[in-house]
Structure 1
C-alpha cells in the first residue's frame, strides 16, 4: 500500500472504525507488554478544540491506523493511541506527522508520549523520528517499565 493513497482526517474516537482500531491496538499491546493501555485513555480527552483523534484510511476507505492528541500541560500535548495495522507501511509515520502538524497549528511547543521499554518497535519508531527520552511524567513517574519521549515542535 502506498502512503500517497492514505487519507488522514479527524474523526470521532467513539465511531465504529475508531473503536475497532483502538481494540486492535489494545490486543497488540496486551500481547507485547501484558497491558492493553486502555486505562491510560479516555476518549473525552481527545474531543474538543485543543485535541483531536485521527484515522488513516487506505485508497479503498478502509481504516488502517489512528492516533490521538490531548492537552497535557501548558504548551505540551500528549500523543495517545498511536496504531498502524500490521502489514501496512508508512501509516504510523503519516499519523504521527498529522498529529505533530495539528499540535503545531494548535499552538503547542512540544508533544510528549509514553510507551513501554519492552515495546522495542515503538521505542525505535519514535527515536527514528526525532523523539528524545525525557524523565517519566504524570502517572508514569516511578514506573520502570515505561519510557517517555518528547519532540519539540517548530
Structure 2
C-alpha cells in the first residue's frame, strides 16, 4: 500500500531520496551535473511529497513557485525497485493537486533528454512540451513541459 506524506524539505526521508536522485543524475548527466545542481537546492522547499510503500520511502517530488501563476515541479524521483508501479504518477498528481489548492494555474518542469522514463511520465500525465524557460534556455539536454491545472 502506498502512503503519501505532504511535508517540506526538512524531512529526512526526502533528503535521503534526493541524495539517491543526485547520484543517479550524476551518472546520466556527467559533466553537466554541476550546472543542474545549482538550480536544485532543497534547503527551502516548502511543498514536498514523499511516497511510502508500507513504511519504506520510495518516491518523492516537490513544487516551488516559479511565478504568481505557476509552480515548478522539482526533485521527482522513484527508487529503482519501486519503478513501474505508478508511484511517480501518484506523487506528481499530489503535487499538482496541492498547487491547484493554493490557487496556481499551471505546473511547469524541466527534465533531461537522457531521461525517457521521466519524459514518458510527464507526457502521460498531460504535460505539453514548451520552449525552455529561465536558466534552461539554450541548454541542449533540457526539455521543458507545462500542464494547466483545474
Q: 2:61 aligns with which of 49, 60, 67?
A: 67
Aligned to 1:147: 143
Distance in 2 (alpha carbons) for counterparts of 1:104 and 1:15: 23
Q: Which runs of 4+ in 1 moved over 4 A?
A: none
Q: 1:58 aligns with which of 50, 53, 56?
A: 53
Aligned to 1:97: 93
Aligned residues of 2:107 and 2:146 also touching (Cα < 8 A): yes
* CA root-mean-square deviation: 1.4
Sort the Cα spacing of 1:32 and 1:19 in 2 relative to 1 into closer, same or farther, 3 A. same
Give the number of equivalent residue pairs.
Answer: 145
Matched, 1:84 2:84: no
Q: Which runs of 5+ in 2 are unaligned?
A: none
Which secondary structure state, in structure 1, belongs to the residue aligned with residue 104 of structure 2? Answer: coil
Aligned residues of 1:33 and 1:119 also touching (Cα < 8 A): no
Give the structure-1-normalised TM-score. 0.88
Distance in 2 (alpha carbons) for counterparts of 1:12 and 1:151: 23
1:6-65 deviation digits (Å, cap 9, x = unpaired): 111112313321111001111111112222743222224422xxxx01111112x11111
Which secondary structure state, in structure 2, belongs to the residue aligned with residue 87 of structure 1? Answer: helix
Which secondary structure state, in structure 1, belongs to the residue aligned with residue 50 of structure 2? Answer: strand
Matched, 1:19 2:18: no
Matched, 1:137 2:133: yes
Aligned to 1:109: 105
Distance in 1 (alpha carbons) for counterparts of 2:140 and 2:66: 21
Aligned residues of 2:8 and 2:45 also touching (Cα < 8 A): no
Q: Which runs of 5+ in 1 are unaligned?
A: none
1:103-150 deviation digits (Å, cap 9, x = unpaired): 110101000000011211111211111110001011001111100000
Matches of residues 26-45 of structure 1 in structure 2 within 5 Å? Answer: 26-34=22-30, 35=33, 37-45=36-44
